Each structure stands twice: as structure tokens, then as C-alpha cells.
Amino acid sequence: MDLHLAAASGNVFGYLWADEAKDCSGEDYAKILCPRGSGFGLDGLFLMQRPGVEPWGLEHWDTDGSKSFCSNGSRAALCILGAPAGPLVEAVSSGERILLRRDGDEVGIRMPEGEGFGLRVVPMSTAQPSGFGWIGNPQLVLRVPSVAEVDLPVFAPPLRHHAAVAGGTNVNVIEVLAPGEARIRSWERGVEGETLCCGTGSAVAAAWLARTEGISTWHLHTAGGGVVTVSLALDQAGAWRDLWLSGPVHRLGLVQPDPFLLHRLHR
């Protein structure tokens, strides 16, 4: 069984074809193959359907085995050998309808939209200016003077596990540098730590900045040192449309997990 590896904006994901991974669930594969030290140090694992009639089917699991929508991993899937061809690909990723767009070495993703998606009332009180949104997962965004000075492992967990959000929320801190330009750091549930770029967090952060700053396109400097670009249209109620996030993706190759690792799946 081949494990395909690809990266998007600093995050590395593993991909298995669903028809080759029949013996165990995606949850089991994620718990074994993802963790640092005992696995490959992945930010998440996908099971992919073979391309055929659109939409292309993808399912994502976090490193703790929880299932979630992942935008960066969905973007990187498009550079896997055997992925659908063409400049635009319709997909359903962990139940969310998306559109993927190739542009040189970058891939853009049109985020889920429609009823239920968009900015919402912040469900808890915060000391910092803040926004909140649902994009297939919950995202809390807080504006700070300097993201580098935030002790994220101390600052984020109380908010990530806040009782006001069932199942908790992702936590993002942003620092505005100039009109249309900001820095962002993200603490992701499921990973339970900081990642180099949370695509859905970046998208909600840009949507909130579009509301507060009146600018519809944002270039976000991520913890991994790269830049993602987010553009959108936002209505007065906070619902978005054509919310696109774009950034570089890279195919890293494929590996064959050691039989010892796979044996642990069957114990």
C-alpha cells in the first residue's frame, strides 16, 4: 500500500486511495500513520476516491483520529499522482462541497458557502477584538499587537476548549501589518497544537478582516514563512461567497509504510 505525501503552505498530509485501504477505517490509519515519533509526523490523513464522475470524493482525519474538513489538505490533494486533471475540479471533502483551481504551482480552493457558513456572533467574551465563523469547522480569530509575542501554547488551549463551543474551536491570532496584509498563527483542534498554516482559519480571519477593515483581498503571512491569499465577497449578515484561498502546493512523493506500522492496525 502506497502512502502519498504532499504539502500545502508548510503542512504535510498523507493520502491513501480508499480502494487500497479497506482493512481499517480512516480514523485508525490517521492514529497510526500521522503522529510524530511513532508515525510520519503528518498534519492529517486523507482517503481518496478514484477520479471518475465529479465531484471527486475526499475524506480527512486529524492526527487524533477525529474527522474534519481540511482546506490545505484538500488543496494539496490535487498534486497527488492520479488526481483529477484540468484547471477546475469539483470535489466533496469530508462532506463539504468545494472547487479546486490549478494556477501554476499554486492551488486555490473555493471554500464551502451557503446556509450556515459565514461569520457568527463571538460566543465568548475576549480581551482582544475578535471574530468567529463556521467554515466546516469553528474558527475563533483574535487581533493582537504582535503574533510573535503571543505564548500560543498557554494562550490558546483555554479558548480552544471553551464551553461556549461544543467540541471546542480552532484559535487564530492575527496582526495587521498594512491594508490587505497581516500575520497569522493558528492553534488547531484535533492536532492540539500550532500548525504552520490553518487554511480554514486563514479564510475566516480574512473574512472577519474584510468586515472590519473593508478590504476584500488579504495576503496572510503564515507561521511557516509562506503567504496565502484570500479573496471573497461578504454580505451584511456575514455570509460569504466566492471565498477563495490560494497558495503553493508540492508533491513530496510516496512511501510504503513498514509492515510493523500496519500490523498495529490489526491488533
- Tens digit of pLDDT for each residue in 45-89? 999 999 987 899 999 999 989 999 999 999 999 999 999 999 999
CATH 3.30.9.10 fits 118-238, yes or no: no
CATH superfamily of 3-102+250-265: Diaminopimelate Epimerase; Chain A, domain 1 (3.10.310.10)
Is a pLDDT exceeding 90 seen at residue 38? no
DSSP state of 35: S
Is a pLDDT exceeding 70 seen at residue 264? no
C-alpha cell at 216: 476584500
Phi, psi of 177, rounded to the nearest 5 degrees:
-100, -40
Which residue would you say has higher pLDDT here, 10 or 13?
A: 13
Q: What is the pTM of this model?
A: 0.91
Tell which residue, 128, 134, 244, has the closest CA to residue 176.
128
Q: For residue 185, what pLDDT is reported?
A: 97
Q: For residue 263, what pLDDT is reported?
A: 67
Do the beta carbons of residue 29 and residue 45 sit within 8 Å? Answer: yes
Model confidence over 121-141: pLDDT tens digits? 999 999 999 999 999 999 999
Q: Do 3-102+250-265 and 118-238 agree at the fold level?
A: yes
Domain ranges of the chain: 3-102+250-265, 118-238
pLDDT band at 266 (very low <50, low <70, confident <90, very high): low
